[in-house]
Structure 1
Amino acid sequence: MDAIARASVSSSARLRPCPRLLRIGNNIAAARRRLRRRSVTCAAAADDIAADVVGLFDAAKLTVDRFVESGMVVGLGSGPASGLAIQYLGTRLRRGSLTGILGIPSSTISASEAEKAGIQVSSYEEGTQIDFAFTDADVIEEDTLTSVIGRRKTESGEPSFMEEKGIVKSAGKLAFIISHEKYVKGVEGSIPVLVKSNKPFQANWIDTAEEIDDLFLGDAEVWRRPSVGTAGPLGGDFPLVTKEGHHVLDVIFTTPITDLGKVAESLEKIAGVVDHGIVSNIPSYVVVKLDEEVQVLDEKSSVIP
Protein backbone atom coordinates (compact mmCIF):
# COMPACT_ATOMS: atom_id res chain seq x y z
CA MET A 1 0.00 0.00 0.00
CA ASP A 2 2.95 2.34 0.44
CA ALA A 3 3.43 1.91 -3.30
CA ILE A 4 -0.14 3.12 -3.84
CA ALA A 5 0.54 6.22 -1.77
CA ARG A 6 3.81 6.90 -3.62
CA ALA A 7 2.08 6.47 -6.96
CA SER A 8 -0.62 8.92 -5.91
CA VAL A 9 2.03 11.42 -4.84
CA SER A 10 3.89 11.02 -8.11
CA SER A 11 0.69 11.48 -10.11
CA SER A 12 -0.30 14.58 -8.15
CA ALA A 13 3.15 16.10 -8.44
CA ARG A 14 3.00 15.82 -12.21
CA LEU A 15 0.04 18.18 -12.20
CA ARG A 16 2.38 21.03 -11.26
CA PRO A 17 5.38 20.75 -13.58
CA CYS A 18 8.39 22.87 -12.83
CA PRO A 19 9.52 25.28 -15.55
CA ARG A 20 12.52 24.62 -17.78
CA LEU A 21 15.52 26.91 -18.00
CA LEU A 22 14.90 29.62 -20.63
CA ARG A 23 17.70 31.65 -22.22
CA ILE A 24 16.89 35.36 -22.11
CA GLY A 25 19.55 37.07 -24.14
CA ASN A 26 22.91 36.24 -22.59
CA ASN A 27 21.76 36.56 -19.01
CA ILE A 28 22.00 32.84 -18.23
CA ALA A 29 23.05 33.37 -14.60
CA ALA A 30 19.94 35.41 -13.84
CA ALA A 31 17.76 32.81 -15.53
CA ARG A 32 19.40 30.06 -13.46
CA ARG A 33 18.77 31.98 -10.25
CA ARG A 34 15.11 32.36 -11.19
CA LEU A 35 14.94 28.66 -12.00
CA ARG A 36 16.44 27.70 -8.62
CA ARG A 37 13.89 29.86 -6.77
CA ARG A 38 11.00 28.39 -8.77
CA SER A 39 12.37 24.87 -8.33
CA VAL A 40 12.41 25.36 -4.55
CA THR A 41 8.76 26.49 -4.74
CA CYS A 42 7.85 23.44 -6.86
CA ALA A 43 9.67 21.12 -4.47
CA ALA A 44 7.81 22.62 -1.49
CA ALA A 45 4.48 22.18 -3.31
CA ALA A 46 5.36 18.56 -4.11
CA ASP A 47 6.20 17.96 -0.43
CA ASP A 48 2.80 19.36 0.59
CA ILE A 49 1.07 17.07 -1.91
CA ALA A 50 3.05 14.10 -0.63
CA ALA A 51 2.14 14.88 2.98
CA ASP A 52 -1.55 15.21 2.10
CA VAL A 53 -1.63 11.90 0.23
CA VAL A 54 0.26 10.05 2.96
CA GLY A 55 -2.09 11.53 5.58
CA LEU A 56 -5.13 10.37 3.60
CA PHE A 57 -3.59 6.92 3.13
CA ASP A 58 -2.92 6.58 6.86
CA ALA A 59 -6.48 7.66 7.66
CA ALA A 60 -7.94 5.29 5.04
CA LYS A 61 -5.90 2.37 6.37
CA LEU A 62 -6.92 3.03 9.98
CA THR A 63 -10.59 3.27 8.94
CA VAL A 64 -10.54 -0.21 7.41
CA ASP A 65 -8.50 -1.74 10.23
CA ARG A 66 -10.64 -0.16 12.93
CA PHE A 67 -14.17 -0.62 11.63
CA VAL A 68 -14.36 -3.37 8.98
CA GLU A 69 -14.87 -6.97 10.13
CA SER A 70 -15.29 -10.19 8.17
CA GLY A 71 -18.80 -10.85 6.88
CA MET A 72 -19.80 -7.17 6.78
CA VAL A 73 -21.80 -5.30 4.17
CA VAL A 74 -19.71 -2.16 3.60
CA GLY A 75 -20.77 1.08 1.92
CA LEU A 76 -17.97 2.22 -0.40
CA GLY A 77 -17.79 5.98 -0.66
CA SER A 78 -16.51 8.29 -3.37
CA GLY A 79 -13.43 10.50 -3.43
CA PRO A 80 -9.65 10.16 -3.15
CA ALA A 81 -9.63 8.92 0.47
CA SER A 82 -12.38 6.40 -0.21
CA GLY A 83 -10.43 5.18 -3.24
CA LEU A 84 -7.41 4.47 -1.02
CA ALA A 85 -9.62 2.71 1.53
CA ILE A 86 -11.16 0.53 -1.19
CA GLN A 87 -7.70 -0.47 -2.46
CA TYR A 88 -6.51 -1.29 1.06
CA LEU A 89 -9.69 -3.27 1.77
CA GLY A 90 -8.95 -5.31 -1.35
CA THR A 91 -5.40 -5.90 -0.10
CA ARG A 92 -6.69 -7.28 3.19
CA LEU A 93 -9.13 -9.56 1.34
CA ARG A 94 -6.33 -10.94 -0.83
CA ARG A 95 -4.20 -11.56 2.27
CA GLY A 96 -7.08 -13.41 3.89
CA SER A 97 -7.18 -11.20 7.00
CA LEU A 98 -10.75 -10.24 6.01
CA THR A 99 -13.31 -12.49 4.33
CA GLY A 100 -16.91 -12.38 3.18
CA ILE A 101 -17.09 -8.64 2.50
CA LEU A 102 -19.89 -7.33 0.28
CA GLY A 103 -19.39 -3.78 -0.98
CA ILE A 104 -22.16 -1.31 -1.85
CA PRO A 105 -20.59 1.35 -4.12
CA SER A 106 -21.90 4.92 -4.11
CA SER A 107 -20.82 5.67 -7.69
CA THR A 108 -19.60 3.97 -10.84
CA ILE A 109 -16.05 5.07 -9.97
CA SER A 110 -16.15 3.37 -6.56
CA ALA A 111 -17.72 0.30 -8.21
CA SER A 112 -14.87 0.18 -10.71
CA GLU A 113 -12.25 0.60 -7.96
CA ALA A 114 -13.90 -2.18 -5.95
CA GLU A 115 -13.88 -4.51 -8.95
CA LYS A 116 -10.17 -3.84 -9.51
CA ALA A 117 -9.52 -4.48 -5.82
CA GLY A 118 -11.33 -7.82 -5.96
CA ILE A 119 -14.25 -6.79 -3.74
CA GLN A 120 -17.63 -8.40 -4.39
CA VAL A 121 -20.22 -5.68 -4.94
CA SER A 122 -23.97 -5.25 -5.09
CA SER A 123 -26.05 -2.23 -6.08
CA TYR A 124 -27.71 -0.03 -3.49
CA GLU A 125 -31.47 -0.17 -3.06
CA GLU A 126 -33.59 1.65 -0.53
CA GLY A 127 -33.79 -0.49 2.60
CA THR A 128 -30.42 -2.16 2.06
CA GLN A 129 -28.89 -3.05 5.43
CA ILE A 130 -25.30 -1.77 5.61
CA ASP A 131 -23.09 -2.61 8.59
CA PHE A 132 -20.51 0.12 8.04
CA ALA A 133 -19.89 2.83 5.43
CA PHE A 134 -16.97 5.14 4.73
CA THR A 135 -16.80 8.11 2.40
CA ASP A 136 -15.11 11.45 1.76
CA ALA A 137 -16.64 14.77 2.80
CA ASP A 138 -16.15 18.12 1.10
CA VAL A 139 -15.97 19.78 4.52
CA ILE A 140 -16.84 18.91 8.14
CA GLU A 141 -17.94 21.28 10.87
CA GLU A 142 -15.95 20.93 14.08
CA ASP A 143 -17.77 19.98 17.29
CA THR A 144 -20.97 18.81 15.54
CA LEU A 145 -19.26 16.70 12.81
CA THR A 146 -22.00 17.84 10.43
CA SER A 147 -20.67 17.41 6.90
CA VAL A 148 -21.20 18.58 3.35
CA ILE A 149 -21.06 16.14 0.45
CA GLY A 150 -21.94 16.44 -3.23
CA ARG A 151 -20.00 19.50 -4.33
CA ARG A 152 -18.23 17.45 -6.97
CA LYS A 153 -20.00 15.82 -9.91
CA THR A 154 -19.70 12.15 -10.74
CA GLU A 155 -18.39 10.98 -14.10
CA SER A 156 -21.98 10.71 -15.35
CA GLY A 157 -22.69 14.32 -14.42
CA GLU A 158 -25.15 13.29 -11.69
CA PRO A 159 -24.68 14.96 -8.30
CA SER A 160 -22.67 12.64 -6.08
CA PHE A 161 -24.68 13.12 -2.89
CA MET A 162 -27.90 11.36 -3.97
CA GLU A 163 -26.95 7.70 -3.68
CA GLU A 164 -24.09 8.47 -1.31
CA LYS A 165 -26.46 10.05 1.19
CA GLY A 166 -28.80 7.07 1.00
CA ILE A 167 -25.90 4.76 1.79
CA VAL A 168 -24.66 6.75 4.80
CA LYS A 169 -28.19 6.95 6.20
CA SER A 170 -28.53 3.16 5.93
CA ALA A 171 -25.22 2.40 7.65
CA GLY A 172 -25.05 1.03 11.19
CA LYS A 173 -21.73 2.87 11.56
CA LEU A 174 -20.37 5.69 9.43
CA ALA A 175 -16.91 7.22 9.07
CA PHE A 176 -15.80 10.21 7.03
CA ILE A 177 -12.17 10.10 5.88
CA ILE A 178 -10.81 13.59 5.31
CA SER A 179 -7.66 15.69 5.11
CA HIS A 180 -7.02 18.14 7.96
CA GLU A 181 -7.90 21.30 6.01
CA LYS A 182 -11.49 20.03 5.57
CA TYR A 183 -12.08 19.96 9.33
CA VAL A 184 -13.08 23.55 10.11
CA LYS A 185 -15.04 25.78 12.50
CA GLY A 186 -16.72 28.06 9.97
CA VAL A 187 -17.84 26.20 6.83
CA GLU A 188 -17.56 28.15 3.59
CA GLY A 189 -18.45 27.40 -0.01
CA SER A 190 -21.48 25.78 -1.59
CA ILE A 191 -24.29 23.48 -0.46
CA PRO A 192 -25.85 21.37 -3.25
CA VAL A 193 -29.65 21.25 -3.21
CA LEU A 194 -31.87 18.96 -5.28
CA VAL A 195 -35.21 20.49 -6.33
CA LYS A 196 -38.27 18.93 -7.93
CA SER A 197 -38.85 18.79 -11.66
CA ASN A 198 -41.38 21.04 -13.36
CA LYS A 199 -44.34 18.68 -13.42
CA PRO A 200 -47.96 19.85 -13.66
CA PHE A 201 -49.24 21.54 -10.48
CA GLN A 202 -45.70 21.71 -9.04
CA ALA A 203 -43.77 24.92 -8.44
CA ASN A 204 -41.21 25.84 -11.05
CA TRP A 205 -37.60 25.25 -9.91
CA ILE A 206 -37.05 28.99 -10.26
CA ASP A 207 -39.67 29.63 -7.58
CA THR A 208 -37.80 27.25 -5.25
CA ALA A 209 -34.49 28.92 -6.09
CA GLU A 210 -35.94 32.36 -5.33
CA GLU A 211 -37.30 31.16 -1.98
CA ILE A 212 -33.86 29.78 -1.06
CA ASP A 213 -32.27 33.04 -2.20
CA ASP A 214 -34.67 35.03 0.00
CA LEU A 215 -33.92 32.73 2.95
CA PHE A 216 -30.18 33.39 2.80
CA LEU A 217 -30.36 36.92 1.40
CA GLY A 218 -27.02 38.68 1.80
CA ASP A 219 -25.22 35.49 2.84
CA ALA A 220 -25.44 33.31 -0.28
CA GLU A 221 -26.06 33.21 -4.01
CA VAL A 222 -28.13 30.49 -5.69
CA TRP A 223 -26.87 29.08 -9.00
CA ARG A 224 -28.28 26.27 -11.12
CA ARG A 225 -25.61 23.64 -11.73
CA PRO A 226 -24.55 23.09 -15.38
CA SER A 227 -23.97 19.63 -16.83
CA VAL A 228 -20.78 20.83 -18.53
CA GLY A 229 -18.47 23.79 -18.04
CA THR A 230 -19.36 26.85 -16.00
CA ALA A 231 -22.53 28.85 -16.12
CA GLY A 232 -24.50 31.67 -14.58
CA PRO A 233 -27.43 31.48 -12.15
CA LEU A 234 -29.71 29.77 -14.72
CA GLY A 235 -27.31 26.95 -15.56
CA GLY A 236 -26.28 28.16 -18.99
CA ASP A 237 -27.12 26.33 -22.20
CA PHE A 238 -26.66 22.86 -20.66
CA PRO A 239 -28.14 22.80 -17.16
CA LEU A 240 -27.83 19.60 -15.15
CA VAL A 241 -31.04 17.57 -14.95
CA THR A 242 -31.02 14.25 -13.09
CA LYS A 243 -32.48 11.04 -14.49
CA GLU A 244 -35.58 11.75 -12.36
CA GLY A 245 -35.86 15.14 -14.03
CA HIS A 246 -34.80 17.11 -10.96
CA HIS A 247 -32.54 20.15 -10.94
CA VAL A 248 -29.43 20.80 -8.85
CA LEU A 249 -28.86 24.18 -7.25
CA ASP A 250 -25.60 25.26 -5.63
CA VAL A 251 -26.25 27.59 -2.70
CA ILE A 252 -22.93 29.43 -2.60
CA PHE A 253 -22.31 31.05 0.78
CA THR A 254 -20.26 34.25 0.71
CA THR A 255 -19.89 34.33 4.51
CA PRO A 256 -18.91 31.50 6.88
CA ILE A 257 -21.82 29.30 8.00
CA THR A 258 -22.17 29.34 11.78
CA ASP A 259 -24.52 26.32 12.04
CA LEU A 260 -24.82 23.76 9.24
CA GLY A 261 -27.57 21.91 11.06
CA LYS A 262 -29.83 24.99 11.04
CA VAL A 263 -29.15 25.46 7.31
CA ALA A 264 -30.28 21.86 6.72
CA GLU A 265 -33.47 22.38 8.76
CA SER A 266 -34.27 25.58 6.86
CA LEU A 267 -33.79 23.95 3.45
CA GLU A 268 -36.01 21.00 4.37
CA LYS A 269 -38.93 23.35 5.12
CA ILE A 270 -38.93 24.81 1.61
CA ALA A 271 -41.49 23.37 -0.81
CA GLY A 272 -39.81 21.81 -3.81
CA VAL A 273 -36.58 20.79 -2.05
CA VAL A 274 -36.04 17.03 -2.49
CA ASP A 275 -32.69 16.70 -0.72
CA HIS A 276 -29.44 18.49 0.00
CA GLY A 277 -25.77 17.73 0.59
CA ILE A 278 -25.72 18.30 4.35
CA VAL A 279 -25.37 15.18 6.50
CA SER A 280 -26.51 15.97 10.03
CA ASN A 281 -28.09 14.21 13.00
CA ILE A 282 -26.44 10.93 12.00
CA PRO A 283 -23.94 9.49 14.51
CA SER A 284 -20.62 9.32 12.72
CA TYR A 285 -16.87 9.23 13.12
CA VAL A 286 -14.26 11.39 11.44
CA VAL A 287 -10.87 9.89 10.65
CA VAL A 288 -8.33 12.64 10.05
CA LYS A 289 -4.62 13.24 10.49
CA LEU A 290 -4.14 16.07 13.00
CA ASP A 291 -0.83 17.09 14.56
CA GLU A 292 1.04 14.31 12.74
CA GLU A 293 -1.27 11.65 14.18
CA VAL A 294 -4.33 9.97 12.69
CA GLN A 295 -7.25 10.53 15.04
CA VAL A 296 -10.72 9.04 15.20
CA LEU A 297 -13.26 11.60 16.42
CA ASP A 298 -16.83 10.97 17.55
CA GLU A 299 -19.79 13.36 17.38
CA LYS A 300 -18.45 15.21 20.41
CA SER A 301 -15.11 15.69 18.64
CA SER A 302 -13.25 13.77 21.34
CA VAL A 303 -10.45 11.44 20.38
CA ILE A 304 -11.48 7.79 20.46
CA PRO A 305 -8.56 5.67 21.81
Structure 2
Amino acid sequence: MSASADPVKVMKEQVGKAAADRVKSGSIVGLGTGSTTAYAIQYIGERLKSGDLKDIQGIPTSFQATVLAKEYGIPLTTLDEVDRIDVAIDGADEVDPNKNLIKGGGAAHTREKIVDSLAEEFIVVVDSSKMVDRLGSTFLLPVEVLPMAMTPVMKAIEKLGGQPQLRMGVKKAGPVISDQGNFIIDVKFDRIDNPAELEKTLNNIPGVLENGLFVGVTDVVLIGEIKENQPTVREI
Protein backbone atom coordinates (compact mmCIF):
# COMPACT_ATOMS: atom_id res chain seq x y z
CA MET A 1 0.00 0.00 0.00
CA SER A 2 1.53 3.34 -1.00
CA ALA A 3 2.04 5.93 1.71
CA SER A 4 -0.46 8.25 0.03
CA ALA A 5 -3.29 5.66 -0.12
CA ASP A 6 -6.13 6.23 2.33
CA PRO A 7 -6.26 3.01 4.40
CA VAL A 8 -10.07 3.25 4.86
CA LYS A 9 -10.59 3.55 1.11
CA VAL A 10 -8.20 0.66 0.46
CA MET A 11 -10.02 -1.44 3.08
CA LYS A 12 -13.41 -0.77 1.42
CA GLU A 13 -11.91 -1.77 -1.93
CA GLN A 14 -10.55 -5.01 -0.42
CA VAL A 15 -13.92 -5.95 1.10
CA GLY A 16 -15.73 -5.14 -2.14
CA LYS A 17 -13.23 -7.24 -4.07
CA ALA A 18 -13.56 -10.15 -1.60
CA ALA A 19 -17.32 -10.17 -2.22
CA ALA A 20 -16.93 -9.84 -6.01
CA ASP A 21 -14.52 -12.80 -5.97
CA ARG A 22 -17.35 -15.01 -4.65
CA VAL A 23 -19.57 -14.40 -7.68
CA LYS A 24 -19.63 -17.38 -10.06
CA SER A 25 -20.20 -17.39 -13.84
CA GLY A 26 -23.84 -17.79 -14.86
CA SER A 27 -25.09 -16.02 -11.73
CA ILE A 28 -27.87 -13.52 -11.25
CA VAL A 29 -26.47 -10.98 -8.80
CA GLY A 30 -28.27 -8.49 -6.58
CA LEU A 31 -26.28 -5.26 -6.72
CA GLY A 32 -26.55 -3.27 -3.51
CA THR A 33 -26.11 0.40 -2.72
CA GLY A 34 -23.38 2.39 -0.97
CA SER A 35 -19.67 3.11 -1.04
CA THR A 36 -18.31 -0.38 -0.21
CA THR A 37 -20.77 -2.17 -2.51
CA ALA A 38 -19.73 0.23 -5.28
CA TYR A 39 -16.28 -1.39 -5.22
CA ALA A 40 -17.88 -4.84 -5.47
CA ILE A 41 -19.79 -3.69 -8.58
CA GLN A 42 -16.57 -2.28 -10.03
CA TYR A 43 -14.68 -5.56 -9.48
CA ILE A 44 -17.52 -7.69 -10.90
CA GLY A 45 -17.29 -5.48 -14.01
CA GLU A 46 -13.53 -5.93 -14.16
CA ARG A 47 -13.85 -9.73 -13.85
CA LEU A 48 -16.38 -9.71 -16.72
CA LYS A 49 -14.12 -7.54 -18.86
CA SER A 50 -11.10 -9.82 -18.28
CA GLY A 51 -13.15 -12.93 -19.14
CA ASP A 52 -12.65 -14.35 -15.62
CA LEU A 53 -16.45 -14.17 -15.20
CA LYS A 54 -19.07 -14.90 -17.85
CA ASP A 55 -22.84 -14.73 -18.28
CA ILE A 56 -23.67 -12.46 -15.33
CA GLN A 57 -26.90 -10.49 -14.93
CA GLY A 58 -27.33 -7.85 -12.26
CA ILE A 59 -30.45 -6.72 -10.44
CA PRO A 60 -29.82 -3.22 -9.04
CA THR A 61 -31.33 -2.00 -5.77
CA SER A 62 -31.12 1.72 -6.58
CA PHE A 63 -30.43 4.32 -9.25
CA GLN A 64 -26.86 4.44 -7.89
CA ALA A 65 -26.36 0.69 -8.49
CA THR A 66 -27.92 0.97 -11.97
CA VAL A 67 -25.55 3.79 -12.98
CA LEU A 68 -22.48 1.93 -11.63
CA ALA A 69 -23.46 -1.37 -13.30
CA LYS A 70 -23.82 0.39 -16.65
CA GLU A 71 -20.50 2.17 -16.14
CA TYR A 72 -18.70 -1.14 -15.47
CA GLY A 73 -20.45 -3.13 -18.19
CA ILE A 74 -22.66 -5.43 -16.10
CA PRO A 75 -25.83 -6.45 -18.02
CA LEU A 76 -28.98 -5.72 -16.01
CA THR A 77 -32.25 -7.59 -15.68
CA THR A 78 -35.42 -7.28 -13.55
CA LEU A 79 -37.33 -9.42 -11.08
CA ASP A 80 -39.97 -9.94 -13.76
CA GLU A 81 -37.42 -11.64 -16.02
CA VAL A 82 -35.71 -14.04 -13.59
CA ASP A 83 -36.83 -16.89 -11.35
CA ARG A 84 -33.97 -16.63 -8.86
CA ILE A 85 -31.19 -14.46 -7.48
CA ASP A 86 -28.04 -16.49 -6.79
CA VAL A 87 -26.19 -13.98 -4.68
CA ALA A 88 -26.75 -10.42 -3.44
CA ILE A 89 -23.98 -8.11 -2.23
CA ASP A 90 -24.90 -5.12 -0.11
CA GLY A 91 -23.62 -2.90 2.67
CA ALA A 92 -25.14 -2.13 6.06
CA ASP A 93 -25.18 0.74 8.55
CA GLU A 94 -25.12 -1.59 11.57
CA VAL A 95 -24.53 -5.32 12.03
CA ASP A 96 -25.27 -7.11 15.32
CA PRO A 97 -23.73 -10.41 16.57
CA ASN A 98 -26.67 -12.36 15.04
CA LYS A 99 -25.95 -10.83 11.60
CA ASN A 100 -29.12 -8.74 11.81
CA LEU A 101 -28.80 -5.34 10.16
CA ILE A 102 -29.94 -1.77 10.08
CA LYS A 103 -29.86 -0.46 6.51
CA GLY A 104 -31.22 2.60 4.78
CA GLY A 105 -28.57 5.28 5.23
CA GLY A 106 -28.77 5.70 1.46
CA ALA A 107 -32.61 5.59 1.49
CA ALA A 108 -32.62 2.44 -0.68
CA HIS A 109 -33.61 -0.13 1.96
CA THR A 110 -36.99 -1.02 0.45
CA ARG A 111 -35.58 -2.23 -2.86
CA GLU A 112 -32.56 -3.68 -1.04
CA LYS A 113 -34.79 -5.77 1.23
CA ILE A 114 -36.76 -7.14 -1.71
CA VAL A 115 -33.61 -8.19 -3.59
CA ASP A 116 -31.49 -9.28 -0.62
CA SER A 117 -34.30 -11.42 0.83
CA LEU A 118 -34.79 -13.24 -2.48
CA ALA A 119 -31.10 -14.13 -2.86
CA GLU A 120 -29.91 -17.70 -2.23
CA GLU A 121 -26.86 -16.15 -0.55
CA PHE A 122 -26.77 -12.64 0.89
CA ILE A 123 -23.27 -11.24 1.48
CA VAL A 124 -22.93 -8.09 3.57
CA VAL A 125 -19.83 -5.94 3.09
CA VAL A 126 -18.91 -3.50 5.88
CA ASP A 127 -16.01 -1.94 7.70
CA SER A 128 -15.47 -2.77 11.37
CA SER A 129 -17.08 0.51 12.53
CA LYS A 130 -20.49 -0.91 11.52
CA MET A 131 -20.29 -3.82 14.02
CA VAL A 132 -22.45 -3.20 17.12
CA ASP A 133 -23.55 -5.23 20.15
CA ARG A 134 -27.14 -4.05 19.76
CA LEU A 135 -28.98 -2.56 16.77
CA GLY A 136 -29.87 1.11 17.09
CA SER A 137 -26.79 1.90 19.18
CA THR A 138 -25.16 4.24 16.68
CA PHE A 139 -27.57 4.56 13.76
CA LEU A 140 -31.12 5.84 13.48
CA LEU A 141 -33.64 3.35 12.03
CA PRO A 142 -34.88 4.47 8.59
CA VAL A 143 -38.57 4.02 7.76
CA GLU A 144 -39.85 4.69 4.23
CA VAL A 145 -43.32 6.23 4.30
CA LEU A 146 -45.88 7.48 1.78
CA PRO A 147 -45.83 11.30 1.90
CA MET A 148 -49.56 11.63 2.72
CA ALA A 149 -49.12 9.38 5.78
CA MET A 150 -46.08 11.14 7.25
CA THR A 151 -47.80 12.79 10.24
CA PRO A 152 -49.93 9.82 11.43
CA VAL A 153 -46.95 7.47 10.98
CA MET A 154 -44.73 9.73 13.09
CA LYS A 155 -47.40 9.80 15.82
CA ALA A 156 -47.68 5.99 15.73
CA ILE A 157 -43.88 5.67 16.00
CA GLU A 158 -43.85 8.00 19.01
CA LYS A 159 -46.39 5.71 20.72
CA LEU A 160 -43.93 2.84 20.19
CA GLY A 161 -41.27 4.83 22.07
CA GLY A 162 -39.37 6.08 19.03
CA GLN A 163 -38.26 9.63 18.29
CA PRO A 164 -38.96 10.20 14.58
CA GLN A 165 -37.49 12.90 12.36
CA LEU A 166 -38.07 13.54 8.68
CA ARG A 167 -34.81 13.13 6.72
CA MET A 168 -33.98 16.38 4.98
CA GLY A 169 -32.04 16.75 1.76
CA VAL A 170 -28.44 17.90 1.51
CA LYS A 171 -27.90 20.38 -1.34
CA LYS A 172 -31.66 20.11 -1.87
CA ALA A 173 -34.41 22.11 -0.20
CA GLY A 174 -36.97 19.95 1.60
CA PRO A 175 -37.08 16.25 2.43
CA VAL A 176 -35.09 13.39 0.92
CA ILE A 177 -37.16 11.58 -1.71
CA SER A 178 -36.55 7.84 -2.14
CA ASP A 179 -36.20 6.16 -5.55
CA GLN A 180 -39.89 5.25 -5.14
CA GLY A 181 -40.90 8.89 -4.54
CA ASN A 182 -41.47 8.56 -0.79
CA PHE A 183 -40.19 10.21 2.41
CA ILE A 184 -37.71 8.70 4.88
CA ILE A 185 -38.30 9.02 8.62
CA ASP A 186 -35.23 8.33 10.78
CA VAL A 187 -36.14 6.98 14.20
CA LYS A 188 -34.13 6.96 17.43
CA PHE A 189 -35.04 4.08 19.73
CA ASP A 190 -33.32 3.97 23.12
CA ARG A 191 -32.82 0.25 22.60
CA ILE A 192 -34.05 -2.34 20.11
CA ASP A 193 -34.38 -5.51 22.18
CA ASN A 194 -36.38 -7.51 19.64
CA PRO A 195 -35.55 -6.47 16.06
CA ALA A 196 -37.81 -9.14 14.50
CA GLU A 197 -40.86 -7.92 16.43
CA LEU A 198 -40.12 -4.23 15.79
CA GLU A 199 -39.64 -4.86 12.06
CA LYS A 200 -43.15 -6.35 11.81
CA THR A 201 -44.77 -3.76 14.10
CA LEU A 202 -43.41 -0.85 12.07
CA ASN A 203 -44.38 -2.41 8.76
CA ASN A 204 -47.95 -2.85 10.05
CA ILE A 205 -48.41 0.91 10.47
CA PRO A 206 -50.59 2.05 7.54
CA GLY A 207 -48.52 4.19 5.17
CA VAL A 208 -45.19 2.56 6.03
CA LEU A 209 -43.65 0.92 2.99
CA GLU A 210 -40.63 -0.72 4.62
CA ASN A 211 -38.15 -0.17 7.44
CA GLY A 212 -34.41 -0.70 7.66
CA LEU A 213 -34.37 -3.72 10.01
CA PHE A 214 -33.05 -6.78 8.15
CA VAL A 215 -33.63 -9.77 10.44
CA GLY A 216 -32.52 -13.30 9.56
CA VAL A 217 -31.61 -12.39 5.97
CA THR A 218 -27.79 -12.28 6.09
CA ASP A 219 -25.71 -15.36 5.26
CA VAL A 220 -22.17 -13.97 5.31
CA VAL A 221 -20.63 -10.76 6.65
CA LEU A 222 -17.27 -9.64 5.23
CA ILE A 223 -15.68 -7.10 7.57
CA GLY A 224 -12.84 -4.82 6.56
CA GLU A 225 -10.41 -3.91 9.29
CA ILE A 226 -7.14 -2.02 9.46
CA LYS A 227 -4.42 -3.75 11.47
CA GLU A 228 -0.99 -2.12 11.74
CA ASN A 229 -2.03 0.19 8.90
CA GLN A 230 -2.77 -2.78 6.63
CA PRO A 231 -6.30 -3.57 5.37
CA THR A 232 -7.57 -7.07 6.16
CA VAL A 233 -10.91 -8.83 5.58
CA ARG A 234 -12.48 -11.26 8.04
CA GLU A 235 -15.67 -13.26 7.65
CA ILE A 236 -18.45 -14.08 10.10
TM normalised by structure 1 equals 0.67
In structure 1, distance between residues paired with 2:176 and 2:7: 35
Of residues 98, 101, 107, the one that matches 1:147 is: 101
**Given the alignment, which residue of 165, 177, 184 partners 1:223?**
165
Q: Name the counterpart of 2:138.
A: 188
Could you say which residue in structure 2 is the equivalent of 1:110?
A: 65
Give the secondary structure class of the aligned counterpart of 2:196: helix
Out of 40, 43, 56, the residue aligned to residue 12 of structure 2 is 56
Which secondary structure does the structure 2 equivalent of 1:239 belong to? coil
Q: Which has the higher contact order (CA 8 A, sep 6+)?
A: 2
1:296 maps to what in 2?
Answer: 235
Residue 154 of structure 2 is aligned to residue 209 of structure 1: yes
What is the SS of the residue equivalent to 1:287?
Answer: strand
Aligned to 2:116: 168
Residue 183 of structure 2 is matched in structure 1 by 247
Report the 3-state secondary structure (helix = DSSP H, G, I; strand = E; otherwise coil) of the residue aligned with 1:150.
coil
Cα 1:213/1:111, change in 2 over 3 Å: same
Q: 1:91 aligns with which of 19, 25, 46?
A: 46
Query: How far apart in 2 are the matches of 1:243 and 1:146?
Result: 24
Specify every segment of 5 or more residues in structure 2 that has no aligned partner in the other structure, as ranges.
none
The 3 A distance-change label for structure 1 pair 81 and 244 is closer
| Secondary structure, aligned partner of 2:206 | coil
1:284 to 198, 219, 222: 219
List gaps (5 residues or longer) in structure 1: 11-49, 153-158, 199-203, 231-236, 298-305
Using the TM superposition, give the Cα deviation of residue 75 of structure 1 relative to its aligned residue in structure 2, in angstroms.
0.9
Bigger Rg, structure 1 or 2: 1
Aligned-pair CA distance for 1:251:
0.8
Question: Does structure 2 retain, via aligned residues, the 8 Å contact 1:79–1:136?
Answer: yes
Name the CA shift for 1:69/1:147 in 2 (closer, same or farther; >3 Å).
same
Partner residue of 2:75? 120
Query: SS state of the match for residue 99, structure 1?
Result: coil
Any conservation in 2 of the 1:188–1:257 contact (CA below 8 Å)? no
Q: Could you report, residue by residue, the CA deviation over 1:25-70 in whole angstroms, capped at 9, with x for unpaired residues? A: xxxxxxxxxxxxxxxxxxxxxxxxx2222222222222122x3110
Could you tell me the percent identity over the aligned residues?
26
SS state at 1:275 partner: strand
Contact residue 128 and residue 170 of structure 1 kept, 8 A? no
> 1:113-143 CA deviation, whole Å, 9 max, x = no partner?
222222112245597521111011111112x
The 3-state SS of whatever aligns with 1:262 is: helix
Tell me if the contact between 2:27 and 2:57 (Cα under 8 Å) persists in the aligned partners. Answer: yes
State how far apart, in whole Å, the 1-side matches of 2:196 and 2:226 are: 27
Partners of 1:196 and 1:246 within 8 A in 2: yes
**Does residue 177 of the first structure (1) align with residue 113 of the second (2)?**
no
The aligned amino acid for 2:186 is D
Residue 138 (1) aligns with residue 93 (2): yes
| Partner residue of 1:263 out of 180, 198, 201 | 198
Please report how far the alpha carbon of residue 145 of structure 1 lies from its aligned counterpart in structure 2 after TM superposition.
0.8
Q: CA deviation at 1:205?
A: 3.0
User: What SS is found at the alignment partner of 1:249?
Assistant: strand
TM-fit CA distance, 1:290: 4.6
Q: Tell me, what secondary structure is at the counterpart of 1:288?
A: strand
Aligned residues: 229
